Amino acid sequence: MKTKHILFVLFIAFQCHAQTALQNSGNLRIHENGKIGFHTDLINNGIFDENLGLAGFYGGNTIDILGAVPATLNDVEFATTLATVLRTSLNISNNGNFISGNVLSPKEAPQVTLNFLENGFYNGEGGPNKVDGYVSITKQQVFTFPVGDFDQLRPLILNSQGINEFAKCAYFSEDPNNPSTFSIVFNTEYKPSSLGVISTREFWRLEGSVSSTIQISWNAASDMAALTDDVTTIIPVGWSKSASQWVALGNAGGIGDLTEGFTTSFTFVPDDYEAITFGAAGQPLEALDLGNYLVTPNGDGLNDVLVIPELEQSPNNKLLIFDRYGLKVFEKNNYTNEFDGLATSGSFVMKQEKGLPSGVYFYIASLYDLDLEFQGFLYLSARP
């Protein structure tokens, strides 16, 4: 019978960075149902892979993960007051749970990443709980990178046409004209005449060799009003390596308003671009708006489901609902009042019984019989 326990081989404690540290210089493995909690730095110079069970990083300040060999963990919890700091890469083969505190990786050393392997995923991401630095994926096709700066989550949603052997992403809350960790500048005045104003508030760095589309979202700090007064002109733009200028990466226009919304690119190869941000382009698209709706699925018979009366005029329809980051949470062909706060798409499906959190969501309603498309907002009150 296989013993379920944690096996420690050559586990040494010593002083490092003004606090005690745990060093693995041999062979450390977490067996099935095993648990280990790190309340101090981890220095891995040995074998620490093929793990099952749970590893957690807990502390009142920061915990460093460093050493010559990247560790590969199964389930991981990040629960520090300030941050878990990666000095070397960390691989996650199953679930990464952001409980409290950011995971920091040095942007000046982009080879250091929080890497999600083929079956790796995460939950618990939010404003102070995500990666400030580089996140990477191995052998995945569709992934939402949980990146941002120290205070805010600024995810990038990657949808590739094939499996990425490796791809990575980081978010930079800084002016692309003066990037802090790049040897070149991304001059926002270098662009075709067809492009309007380019954002100087933020940008993403995305690497990958597979043709893909992306979604990026904005918030109040993005200051989209400095780019345009029409949300439908907002598109993703990229700094082309070959042309050494900003070029359009999309033409569909933004969804939302100038305070919150998202935009989607057309298909491109990420490795052809140094940076990605928002730009204004072209003429305003003809946008049709339906009403904004309230959904309160509490069983009182009022607004328990999303009802869009106009859809009755087109039984051949499609409804898409997105959260404020542009992540699709609901999709239904031939919609007839099914949305009651439960997700049918995205990571929320795994905990579907809890329902989606309260907040503002965006919807797109396609009325194929009438050749019309509408967009608008809904406010969802979480299920009791």
Specify the pTM.
0.84
Handedness of CA 234, 235, 236, 242 (dihedral sign): negative
Q: pLDDT tens digits, residue range 115-165? A: 999 999 999 999 889 999 999 999 999 999 999 998 999 999 999 999 999
Domain boundaries, the chain: 1-172, 174-286, 288-380
List, as one string, the DSSP characters of 164-230. Answer: ESSEEEEEE-S-TTS-SS-SS---TT-S-TTEEEEPSS-EEEEE-SS-EEEEEEE-GGG-GGGT-S-
Q: pLDDT tens digits, residue range 196-246? A: 999 999 999 999 999 999 999 999 999 999 999 999 899 999 999 999 999
- How does the average pLDDT of the chain come out, rounded? 89
The span from the CA of 29 to the CA of 6, in Å, is 6
Does position 181 have pLDDT exceeding 60, yes or no? yes
Answer yes or no: CATH 3.30.1490 is held by domain 288-380. Answer: no
* Cβ 83 vs Cβ 59: under 8 Å: no
* Cβ 361 vs Cβ 260: under 8 Å: no
The span from the CA of 61 to the CA of 18, in Å, is 12
Tell me the average pLDDT across 67-73: 94
Q: pLDDT tens digits, residue range 16-44? A: 344 578 888 888 888 888 999 999 999 99
